[in-house]
Each structure stands twice: as structure tokens, then as C-alpha cells.
Structure 1
Amino acid sequence: MQEQQITVLLDKLSQVSDEIAKVIVGQQDIIDELLISVLAGGHCLLEGVPGLAKTLMVSSLAKTLALDFKRVQFTPDLMPSDIVGTEILETDHETGERFFKFQKGPVFTHILLADEINRTPPKTQAALLEAMQERRISYAGTTYDLPKPFFVLATQNPVEQAGTYPLPEAQLDRFVMFIRVGYPTEQEEIEIIKRTTGNDHNKLSAILSADDIIALQNLVRSVTASNELLVYAAGLARATRPDKHQGEQDENVNEQTNEPCQSVNEHVRWGAGPRAGQALILCAKARALMLGRYAITVTDIRFVAPAVLRHRILVNFQAEALNITPDNIIDDLLAFVAVPTSPLQ
């Protein structure tokens, strides 16, 4: 790809964030994390109480991308066929012959908004699993490829609320990022009220095409990551695992102090798998590219670490009793794991 083409793509990418800001007040870090997950080619899960514009944020992103977009409202009575599709009986009007034809479901799109994904039972949640991982659907012995690019951008309510079905760990691991959406500041809330109670309605323009997104995803993978930073990302992922779950070759220890991370050993039941290290590097590369750099730094990894790791750490009952969350564990790990002495920081 020529340098001029890269410059045009990066200019378009910066315009996407500005375009979304027309309808979303504040939440810049969350918008950045959404874009990072798209550039990394992964799926994204947003969690927050009702009314924090999670759905609006995802739909606004979809509007700025010239891609097919479908929305599924997950409910307790939603069936897998409502997502994947089903066979219907049709008749050939010329021959009178009757045959089954596969009617594609809403998953056959570029961007699938899975709204309130934890409101539906596990059987239906699992219908997304193959689509998210393999980018294809198998039905009645036939495999159907999904369009490229394909993203699942899901929203969910906190699991403490009534009527929710927590996502299983296997499906959570398919999301490259788990973003928590918090309440706006006072000034942001005033601006939200001002915008939504007046006559002004901003229309969003499509900026990036499917080919642009694929080109940017390829560009992300060409961003440089030094060996020291690869080791650092792997160290962060491995440090999330208690000693008993580490490999035989090493332990959950700080190289400088040679001591294990106490909070992990005491409060973590299961840590992150190898996908976590892959996601850390890919998301760090995406962030670096968004900032106009072609090499990642420690800051990039540390920025994406909470969203990449929080859904991959399962705390034990003792941690729950003490109100210790995965985010608390991640804060400890970022202070615990030795930062590489690399020129790219």
C-alpha cells in the first residue's frame, strides 16, 4: 500500500471519531476502544446499566461505516434460528416440485448488534459462538460463509440485575474487548439533555467502506511490535493465572523481585488464556495506528489491558465476598509486572 493511500485511510479513521461525537456526548475512551476492536478484527462487548447510550453508541458506529448492519434484541424467548436462519419449504412454480431453501438470519451481515445479549438463555447465546470464532455458519450439513468484515458488537446489563443469563467463559473469550460504560459527568449530562430535548437532529455520514476497513485491518497487522513488548504482553496474560494453573516452565513471579503476585494467587480462580496475549498486541497495534504510529509502545498495551483482560479473569468466592473485581486485579498486575526497558515506550 502506498503512503498516500495510508494517509487517506488514517484521515478517514480520525473522521469516524469526530462523526460519532455528533450524537454521543463524551465517552471518548469508549469510542476509541470500540474502534480499536473493529481495527483488530475482533468482537466487542459493552456493559452498563440501562440508559447509558450503549445501543446508540454501537448503532452510531455502524452508521459511520458503509457496512450492512442488523440488530437483534435478545429476549428470553429468542431461538437460535432467529439469529442463524432456518429452512423454509418452497415450491417451484414451473415444475411444481417442493424443496427446502435456507433463509439466512440476521447474522449474515457486516455488523451485528446483539442488544442485551445476556437477556436470552445459553442455548441461543451459543448460536453466535461459531459465527464469532469461525466467521461462518453450519446448518443442515451445509456451511455458509459470513460477509467480510464481520463484527459482533454486543451490549449487556450488569449480571446483578434480574432476568439476566451470564455469558459462559468460552463465549466471553471470543470478545476481544469488554468495555464498561459508566455514568456521564454533570456537564456531559447537561449537554445530553440539551441535545435530546431540542429540534436539532444530527445525521451521521458513512465514512469508511468495507474495503477501507479490511485495508486498515491489514495495516494494523503490519505495525511493529518489539520482542520486549511481546514478552511484556505475554507476561501480563500469564500473570493473571494463579500458580497452580501456570505451565511447567515458569511461575507467576515478578522477574525483579522473584515473588508471585499475591492478589492473583489469593483471589483469582481462573486466569486469561493465550488469546489474551494475542488481543493485547493486536489492540495495542490498532491504537498505535489510530495515533499515527507504526510501532507500539508500553502505553498502548497498558491502555487496552483493562478492556482486554477483565472478562478473562474469573475471581473466586473470597474475592466476591471482599468486593474485589477483575479490574482491581488488573490494577495490581499493571503495577506488578515489570515494564520492559525498551526504547519504544
Structure 2
Amino acid sequence: MNEQTPATIRRPRSDDRPLWDVYWGAYGYFAVHIAHGVGVFTLLANGPQTLDEVCQALGLKRRAAEAVLAVCVSHGLLAFNTSRYALTTVAEDYLLPTSPTYFGSQFDWNLAHPEIITLDRIQRAVLTDQPQAFPGGKPIFSTLEEEMAMAKQFTHAMHSSSMGPATAWPEKIDLSGHHVLLDVGGGSGAHAIGALWQWPHLRGSVLDRLPVCEVAQEYATKYRLTDRLGTHAADMWKEPYPAADLHFYGMIFHDWPAEQCRFLARKSFESLPTGGRIIVHEMLFNHDRTGPFGVAAFNMVMLTYLDGEQYSGREIAGFFSEAGFTDIEVKPTFGYWSIVAGRKP
């Protein structure tokens, strides 16, 4: 009788946690959205709570509540000590509506449009290289032009994710020599607000479509900046820019293909006075466009929503250089965020 030789089985060189993190990740990240939606964070703003107290206050069964709370603790949004759940500083800064850097409206957008974040739509975006977030493969801005209520909701969502970094980048660059900031496609004006807070001599204007400008005016009032921050309703592609010596583009370049980014850089160069500056604020790829993961994942969002993509600092600096800007610099500012700045000679 012939004996079989066992097949060679090699032990993996690393454990399988990275694969499980990917496989289960969507469930975990959705759980944070759900925790926000049912009011976990606003409840715990009143003080630490036991599991039973959370269940009673939110009308949740014990197993479900504990599952959601465990995800929030493991992700650093909640702390657990002596049988009570409490907010961490991350949750206090970003997940309470009373915080000026409240992130929750970004979660609200996803909760209001769950049909967008599906494996099927993302897969279709990859296979077709076309936006798939909205019916007919229309990019988001085409949809927002038709749906004014959605446009305002989207603007609030963008404000929510912008205020944190908007408090940081103005500390990283000297704006003392500038007088008027034009926040191009500025949405809520979050970045103009951050710059005007940091540099009290500055005045600013948010350039965007009329319904969006109405939202920006609301935020200017909220932050008591109406005497220094105005709006300018216009199409950035078709209409001239108003006078300013500082142009800011926050999460604008990544919405568009490279040639349109070059157009915006040239338009700013032609509009700015000598010594004027352009600043682009984005999550930047590394030079090889291979990471970090957060930026690579954001690039998948661009694939699903729009015709644009995340760029590297080198690529945006190239757009600036081609347009004629000099003194170009790339500066990390806050988390994944960076600015790319250039000056008109």
C-alpha cells in the first residue's frame, strides 16, 4: 500500500487581523452612524450612564445597545469605566451639536441617503469609471443643482466636517500681508470663518451658488462675522472672480479632473494681484498615490460621487507651477489634511 505524502502547509507570515478589519469594518463604521442617529452621544453629554440606563433612555434592547456601544468604545469615541459609558474628548469635540467643530451633520447625510453607500454602487463605479451615487450616474453637483433642499443639506454636512481643520490651517501660514480672502466654492464658509478668526484684519467672501450662499450667510450670522464675511453668488466656471488678494479652495480640486484643476489655477493666477496667493486645502495622497488609507478610501468616495480624485501635493504644486505661481509649498495641517500654497510673482 502506497503512503501519501502530506501536502506542504506553510503557516502564514502574519495573522489575519487586517482581513477581518476589512471584512467586518463596514458593520462597525455603520454602528457609529447608528449610535449618532439614535442619540447615544447627546445622551452621554449629560454624564456617564450604565448599559441599563442607556437602554431605558433610548428604547433599545440590551444586546443591541451593548453591540453598538462596544464599537464606539473600541473606536475611541466612548470610554467604559466601572460599568458606565462616558464620552471621550473626541466625542465631545466632534459629536455634540453644541461643539463648534461638530461632525454629526456628515453622519446625518449618510443616514439620510443610505442607498448611496452600498457595495453594488461602489462596484458599479469601479467597473464603469462613472459616478454611481445618484440615479443615471449623474455627478452629485448636477443633482444638487436640481434639488435645492438637498444642496443645503449637503452644505451643512460639508460644514460639519470642515470646521475642525478650518481652525488649524490658518495657524500654519502667515496671512498678515493679505486683506481679502475669496473662498471659492466655499459652501458654508467654514474655512473663511476659520481664517477670519485667526487673522482679525482679514475680510472674506464666499463664492458659491445662491442657495449655498444663503447657508453661508446663516453661518456668518451664527459666528458673529457678518461685518467681515459676505457672499458672492456666482458660477466659478463661467463668471469672473471678485477682487481679492487671497484665493482659497477647500475640497474643490478633488471634485474635478486634472484639466479643470489647471483651469482654476490659471483663473486664480489671472485674477489675483501681484503678491496674491492661492491656497488649496485637501487630503493629499503621498507622492506614489498609494496612501495613506484614509485618503485612498476618500478617493473611492470621489469615484462614486464625482469625476474627480484625490491628488498628491506634488500634483497640485504642478498645477500651480504651470499657471505661473512661485514660492509653492505643501504643509500638513491637521490629521489627514494639508494645504498647498503659491504666490503670484
Superposed pair shares fold, TM > 0.5: no
Relative contact order (C-alpha < 8 Å, sep 6+): which is higher?
1
